[in-house]
Chain A
């Protein structure tokens, strides 16, 4: 009798999980997405919802235990997965994700975070409309090469100082978030984490530069134009300005060695995308290529050098701490692990459990509807982290880099633009948005509330994205 109940329970479990089993394809034991039930996506949804809700619902608990929560969701996927599909399959899937995606991803973020956090711009400029527009333009260009976080953190303090005598200045920081913390990041894999994930998946280094340039340029020109008009209006309205509390003084760059190290970061990533020595080690069916290993070692060495060579007062002046990267490492571990079944299901396309989503974003003949890719990846990136969002839609579109760069280039552009641009829609769409808000508020300037900021984005960005849809993603 007991055995009968046990079998019934197991049968029910297998039904709920889609009766998916790990299939051997080639040498690697891996999850067959076509046979995984949608319930396997639950830990991924759980970790994303935890990140979104728990800082609000249980801030003290989250502050102390977010790493454990991330680990708990990961175990909720890994343990049942190993129990049902076997340890070798689970070990392969976990190792594959960690070695080929998570570790390189975190190492790049660590290197960019450390290097850009070691550059400090001192001196004070006068926050006139022209100067502010120039600073936003410089930030937009830099964001593509040093990351939106790095560019935003580098320039936000000079921008605050330049505008400390302005009465109306909130719009300056809002447009800074739009352009520097988001849209400028579209040009290279270093610009925004989703694009680096694409690079790790096989998208060429300069593919975003060549294929997203026009979209980014249109966005940037329109936003800079609107900003200049708005800033000129307020500047004129303020009339006679009180004495500038921090008079104009020459600009100086401290921690200049990090500029060299930043070029080395760019070189290391570029090298891994262009140098193909053909040296590959295989560990548990996972292929580790020499150029990628060399890149990660170089990035770690650059990080170490940056720590050794940067004067302490430069980092102190930037408010540099390891807190953000530790938080990123812990939470992204959960995201990368729990996203495994979601990606497997998406890769299965119409034969997977997410067939309704696949049908939604494709015409009946199977061709993609780019507008859906742009808006869905964008809508999710507005409220969730844009890196996993990019991965989801990358795989929804088939997950093959060569195809996505070729015949489906417009679709990959839609996914990339959605993930990168629409992170600007809310404070939580992209980490630097909230970082900028916090630094500005720490300087005693009141930023718009969460919904107040969304009023800016809905009034300016969303209409722009609608127009872009008709131009680029029809």
Chain B
């Protein structure tokens, strides 16, 4: 169980949308804010570029496009106002007073810029902020994984305050940074922590879990190591293990630029975002 790690989670930013996973994201953000006594900010995003994107058009139709664009933007604003109202009602029911911001522009860039004022960003895995449910992972979420300056929690539809946390550790710099931020933000509080390392050889897997466990111990967190020797896709192994222990949260560094092999197989992060049923704590 987690020990007395210093809790630095002071402020959370949650991106509001009306997708199924967005319900989970808002619930989890609210629970985290309560558990950590952190400030909570809800952000709506109006993707003006998307709503007014250029289209092939025939002669004499520019005025019609303008009218359609204006109607789309207006509907987007009305939708965001509804999202804000709904989120405020949800927060008030839990005696939390959220701060609200209405962002306009490209979602990943706007959320990235707003994230600088917060410790953690919570976003739904199927949110593109275009009024539709995107196939997970939504392109906006994939982009945020690469560009967000703060750690992200990417949430599926069913999410709750983590009780079982799985740290996927491959000893890379992104994984080490994600581990550190996870610990410093006090995310392990009240949860059982597992560390999994997947390597072709058992001794290498064990060496990785030892490193992660040592760092966790430094912060008073006791973990259950799971070194696994396997030549399979690490994402499959992590996914299977997460399901077997009933993990609520998988912690990982964001990988994705490993050359041609990643291009063919899809990145580790994308794989887990698509298939893993649990929330992911990711830092690039």
Contact = CB atoms under 8 A, between A and B. Distances in A.
Interface in A332-387: 332, 385
Interface string B40-70: 0000000000000011111111111111101
Contacts of A442: 67-68, 70-72
A408 to B, nearest CB: 29
Contacts of A52: 56
Contacts of B57: 55, 427-428, 434
B146 interface: no
Given A327-B63, A434-B64, A438-B64, A427 B58 contact: yes
Nearest to A335: B59
A435 B70 CA distance: 15
A206 B71 CA distance: 41
A431 B56 contact: no
A117 to B, nearest CB: 12
Contacts, number: 83
B59 A435 contact: no
B55 A450 contact: yes
Interface of A is mostly: helix
Interface string A307-335: 00000000000010101110110011000
Contacts of B67: 319, 438-439, 442
Contacts of B70: 442
Interface size, B (range): 10 to 19
A63 interface: yes
A49 to B, nearest CB: 12
B63 A433 contact: no
B75 interface: yes
A444 B73 CA distance: 11
A381 B66 CA distance: 24
A56 B68 contact: no
Contact of B58 (A319, A332, A428): A428
A427 B56 contact: yes
Contacts of A321: 63
Contact of A327 (B56, B59, B71, B72): B59
Interface string A436-470: 01110111100000100000000000000000000
A435 B54 contact: no
Contacts of B54: 55-56, 59
A327 B65 contact: no
Contacts of A431: 58-61
Contacts of A428: 56-58
Interface string B143-179: 0000000000000000000000000000000000000
Contacts of B60: 149, 324-325, 327-328, 331, 431, 435
B58 A450 contact: no
A104 to B, nearest CB: 17
Contacts of A56: 54-56
Contacts of B71: 441-444
Given A428-B56, A442-B68, A444-B71, A435 B61 contact: yes
B55 A55 contact: yes
A444 B63 CA distance: 17
Given A441-B71, A442-B71, A63 B56 contact: no
Interface in B175-193: none
A325 B60 CA distance: 6
Contacts of B64: 324, 434-435, 438-439
Nearest to B65: A438
A325 B63 CA distance: 10
Contacts of A435: 60-61, 64
A430 interface: yes
Contacts of A327: 59-63
A41 to B, nearest CB: 19
Contact of A332 (B56, B59, B75): B59
Interface in B64-88: 64-68, 70-72, 75
Contacts of B66: 323
Interface string A214-232: 0000000000000000000
A127 interface: no
B61 A385 contact: no
Interface string A24-56: 000000000000000000000000000110011
Contacts of A323: 62-63, 66
A429 interface: yes
A431 B58 CA distance: 5
Given A324-B64, A327-B63, A441 B58 contact: no
List 3 tightest A-B contacts by C-beta distance, closest first.
A323-B63, A438-B64, A442-B71
Interface of B: 54-68, 70-72, 75
11 contacts: A52-B56, A324-B60, A331-B59, A385-B58, A428-B56, A431-B59, A435-B64, A437-B68, A442-B68, A442-B70, A442-B72
Given A332-B59, A429-B58, A434-B55, 10 more contacts: A55-B54, A55-B55, A66-B62, A327-B62, A427-B58, A428-B58, A437-B68, A439-B67, A443-B71, A444-B75
Interface of A: 51-52, 55-56, 59, 63, 66, 149, 319, 321, 323-325, 327-328, 331-332, 385, 426-431, 433-435, 437-439, 441-444, 450
